[in-house]
Structure formats: C-alpha cells, structure tokens
Amino acid sequence: MAQLWGGRFTKETDKLVYAFNASVSFDRKLYRQDIRGSKAHAAMLSKQGIISVEEEKAIQEGLSSILKDIEEGRIEITDEYEDIHSFVEANLIERIGDAGKKLHTGRSRNDQVALDMRMYTRDEVVETKSLVLKLLTTLADMMDKHIDTYMPGFTHLQKAQPVTLAHHIGAYFEMFKRDWLRLSDIYERMNYCPLGAGALAGTTYPLDRDYTASELGFYGPTLNSMDSVSDRDYLIEYLSAAAMIMMHLSRFCEEIIIWNSNEYRYIEIDDAYSTGSSIMPQKKNPDIAELIRGKTGRVYGALMSLLTTMKGIPLAYNKDMQEDKELVFDAMDTVKGCLALFEGMVSTISFNKEIMAASAMNGFTNATDAADYLVLKGVPFRDAHGIIGRLVLYCIDKGCSIDELTLDELKDICPQFDEDIYEAISLKTCVEKRLTTGAPGHDAMTEEIKACRAFLKNAV
C-alpha cells in the first residue's frame, strides 16, 4: 500500500478499505495526461520562482523517463499505488529524490484528476468526431451511388410512399451530422483548464493559471475554483452525445436487420460482417448489427449512472466523483468501436435493387399519387382520398395493384380517370415528381447531396 497521505494517521488502512478506495486499476489509463499536466505545472512553478530552475529540470527529466518506461514496458502501473497520481509522484521521488517532493506544491489531486480527465475526454471527443466524419463520408458516397435505387418508404413499418435508398441514407446523414456538431459544441465548452483550482479554494502560491492553460492547449483557465474541481458536466454532455450516436446507430442497425431478413431480402451483409450458427448450417446472421443495437444499452446506462451519481453531491470535490471513470471509459470504447464496425459493415453491404424496387411497387405506395392525380382532374382531395380508398379495397379483393387495373375498371370507380393515370402513378413518376427541398426526386436529392458534400468539406 503506497499512499500520499499517511502523516495524520496512526493506523494502517484496512486492506478492504484500501482496495475499495483505490482507483489505479482504472485511472492508470490517464498516465499520459497526468504526466503532461505535471510537466506543465512544474514549468509554471519554476517560471513563478516557486521552485528552482534546477529542480524543474530534474522533475522534467524524471517525468519524461517515467513516461518512456511506461510506454516501453519497463515499468508497470500496479495496484500497489492508490491512484495514477500517487504512482507518478512516488516514482518521481524514487528517481530524483527531494526535487520530486516539490512537484505537488500548489496542487491537489482534486484539480489534478479534473485536469487529467478533461484532457483525456478532449482527445476522445476529437477521435469520436473523426469516426463520425468517416461514417458521414461513407454515407455520402452511398447516396451518390443510390440516387436512382427505388425502395418503399415506411411509416408504422407499413409501406407508405416510394423513396430512394439515397433518400433513406440521407436521413441518417442528417442524424450523424448533428452528432458531429454536438461533439464540436462540447469541445468548445469543455476546453478550459481546471489546474490551479487546488483542493477547492485555489492556493496562496502565485500560480500562473493562464500559463498552464495555454501550455496544455486549453482556451484559458476555468473561472471558479470550486466548480473547477467538482464539474463533471462535460462528461455528462459527452455521454449524452455518445448515447445519441448509439441511438442513431441502433436505429440503422434495426433497419439492416429487417432488410437482411428472409422476408425482405433487400440486402446482403458481407460475409466478413456476418456470423453463422453452430447448429443451423443455412444461417447467416446479422450479429454485428444486433450487438451494436445491444450495446446502446450500456451507453445509456453510463449516462443515467453519472447523472445519478452527480445529483446529490454538495460542493466541492467528493469521492463519489471517482465513479465517473469506469463507466465513461467503457462508453468511450463502446461508441468508438461501434462507429468503426458499423462503417465497415454498411460500406460492404450489397443491395438487391430489383427486390427493393419490386417491393416499392406493391403495397399501394402510389395510392397518394393516384389521389393527387384525381385532384389535378378537379376532384377535391378529401373525395379523391375516399375514391382511392375504395379502389385499394377493390384491388385487395382482386389481388392486384392499382396500375394493373384496366382503364374501364378505373373509370367504373371514378370517371375522371384517363389513359395518363398509368404514367402518373408509375414508380418512377412517384419518386421523380417529389422535388421539394429534401424530397427524394433526383434533382432534389442532387441538391441535398451537394449540401452534404459542402458540410464534409468544411467539417474540421
């Protein structure tokens, strides 16, 4: 048991208490951030004359050698230390002696952990953004390719009106675009440096917080020292953005699972992204899509968990906050893994265009267009709606689609029908006539894809 705070105690910590309290098993992930923060702190202490130039030099060299030894596997961060901060400090003192004992001047583990976690999360936000961007690029490429791939659009999972695959994918482009923008917003709000807040009330040493903030790539120091050590809002914001990404992935996965089903057969998932059954030789299962859908629960859980942890915490630092790490780390790894896998899966799917188009042609997806046709011939829309309703019933009885009826049959139901009805309700017309901004018609989609491309070009 290696602790930084033995002085006031007359008894050894109970072993179970020690293990319960320790965080090194999971905060060891923060070693890079911890060392980088300590280096900036030491540089500032020497600039301010709080430690000597020689002491700073020894600290810098000691910290660099610790980093190198960890990265090259010469030392291991073991459970012998309470947390990553104790590990680094104890190692430094072992290496350079007394100068090492000065590193923690004007600092507390409270502002130290707040700093480490912010730096870690900042990098995660950037990484997640780039994975979302990669997926967006893939989706834009698919939109280009499938601007004329017809398929039914659904409401209530019932065929509604025909759309194109490009149009369907474009809906997901918008969702992931908002995710990307959300992550950018979070970065802007969180990129302030809590180092120098001390335990909660700042410090009496003349620290230069602007200096450390800028050395560490922050926009500036955080303002209120009590908030600085107890703010975990940025983690909750990150988890909320991550939960939303997972929700979008999960919705898309659900559609992939449906489209891949024996009943739909719209798509073929690539062998590399499918799995088999141990008993049923014919099976090719969409496990990856199902797993992504399933993992959404973990990320939602992390969000609810941290919200709940934080809800009753009085100012300022309380140990409850140590609970932020495991679930946030897990959510980060989950969302990144799912984004990468999803991109690989979706980009290798092959689409059965004929089946999709045939599916768009049955199920009366052109019923609205048939009603609109009658409106053009002077029938009020509400009447047209009723007439086409009766027509659909007639077709269901006969087991055919509207365009399979003869003109005489159509005229029997409504005399306003003419020869041009067939052209007016063809699949192509139904899609291509929808040209309002954001609609599936070719020209409208071309504009939408242009806007997507412009977004991608400016997304940095």
Catalytic residue set: 156, 277
Minimal CB distance residue for ligand ARG: 322
- Of the pair 106, 440, the CB lying nearest ligand ARG is at 106
Q: How far is the CB of 21 from ligand ARG (least distance, A)?
A: 8
- Sign of the torsion formed by the C-alpha atoms of 206, 207, 208 and 211: positive
User: Other CB atoms closer than 10 Å to residue 314's CB: what's the count?
Assistant: 6
Q: Are 179 and 237 in contact (CB under 8 A)?
A: no
Residues 19-38 that bind ligand ARG (CB under 6 A): 23, 27
Smallest separation, CB 321 to ligand ARG (Å): 5
Q: From the list 224, 274, 275, 322, which residue makes contact with ligand ARG (rule: CB under 6 A)? A: 322
Query: What is the closest distance, in whole angstroms, from the C-beta atom of residue 227 to ligand ARG in the complex?
Result: 16
Q: Which x/- pattern over 113-132 shows residues binding ligand ARG (rule: CB under 6 A)?
A: x-------------------
Stretch that binds ligand ARG, among 47-55, 145-153, 313-321, 434-442 (CB under 6 A): 313-321
Rounded alpha-carbon distances, angstroms, from residue 429 to 150, 206, 386, 405:
11, 74, 22, 18
Question: H or E stretch including 344?
Answer: helix 324-347
- The region of 157-165, 317-325, 375-383, 447-455 touching ligand ARG under the rule CB under 6 A is 317-325
Scanning 64-72, 315-323, 393-401, 443-451 for contacts with ligand ARG by CB under 6 A, the matching segment is 315-323
User: For residue 65, which amino acid is it?
Assistant: S
* CB contact at 8 A, 382 and 443: no
Identify the helix (H) or strand (E) that includes residue 220. Answer: strand 220-221
Residue with tokens 């399979």: 404
Element (H, E) at 368: helix 367-376
Q: Are 444 and 176 in contact (CB under 8 A)?
A: no
Return the sign of the alpha-carbon dihedral for residues 315, 320, 324, 327.
negative
| Among 91, 110, 212, 359, contact with ligand ARG (rule: CB under 6 A) | 110
Type of residue found at 261 = S
Nearer to ligand ARG, 56 or 82 (CB): 82
Alpha helices in 97-193 (DSSP H): 109-145, 165-190
- The residue among 41 and 182 lying less far from ligand ARG, judged by its C-beta, is 41
| Smaller CB separation from ligand ARG, 110 or 149 | 110
* Nearest distance in Å: CB 95, ligand ARG: 22
Q: Does residue 316 have a cis peptide bond before it, meaning omega lies within 30 degrees of 0?
A: yes
CA-CA distance, 173 to 395, in Å (whole number)?
A: 37
* Residue range at the interface with ligand ARG (CB under 6 A); choices 107-115, 201-209, 395-403, 416-424: 107-115
Decide whether 65 or 322 has the Cβ nearer to ligand ARG: 322
CB 195 within 8 A of CB 209: yes
Quick one: 138 or 322, whose CB is closer to ligand ARG? 322
Q: Determine which residue in the list 36, 41, 107, 109 makes contact with ligand ARG, applying CB under 6 A.
A: 109
Return the DSSP state at 194.
-
Site stretch for ligand ARG (CB under 6 A), options 106-114, 240-248, 282-290, 381-389: 106-114
Provide the H-helix boundaries in 191-314: 209-215, 225-230, 233-260, 287-310
The one segment of 109-117, 233-241, 343-351, 441-449 that binds ligand ARG by CB under 6 A: 109-117
Interaction between residue 83 and ligand ARG (CB under 6 A): yes
For 197, what's the count of Cα atoms within 13 Å in the CB-facing half-sphere?
28
Asked if 327 interacts with ligand ARG (CB under 6 A), we say no
Least CB distance from residue 113 to ligand ARG, whole Å? 4
Residues 163 to 192 in contact with ligand ARG, rule: CB under 6 A: none
First vs last Cα of the chain: how many Å apart? 46
CB of 117 to ligand ARG, least distance (A): 8
The number of residues that bind ligand ARG (CB under 6 A) is 10
Residue 151: DSSP 8-state: E
Residue 102 φ/ψ region, left for φ over 0, alpha for ψ in the -120 to 50 degree band, beta for the rest: alpha
Per the CB < 8 A criterion, the answer to whether 341 and 135 are in contact is: no
Residue 172 or 317 with smaller CB distance to ligand ARG: 317
Shortest Å distance, C-beta 230 to ligand ARG: 10
Give every CB contact of residue 419 below 8 A, 6+ residues apart in sequence: 407
Sole binder of ligand ARG in the list 242, 321, 331, 388 (CB under 6 A): 321
Return the number of the residue (109 or 248) whose C-beta is nearest ligand ARG: 109
> Is residue 335 near ligand ARG by the rule CB under 6 A?
no
In the complex, the residues that contact ligand ARG under the rule CB under 6 A are 23, 27, 83, 109-110, 113, 317, 319, 321-322
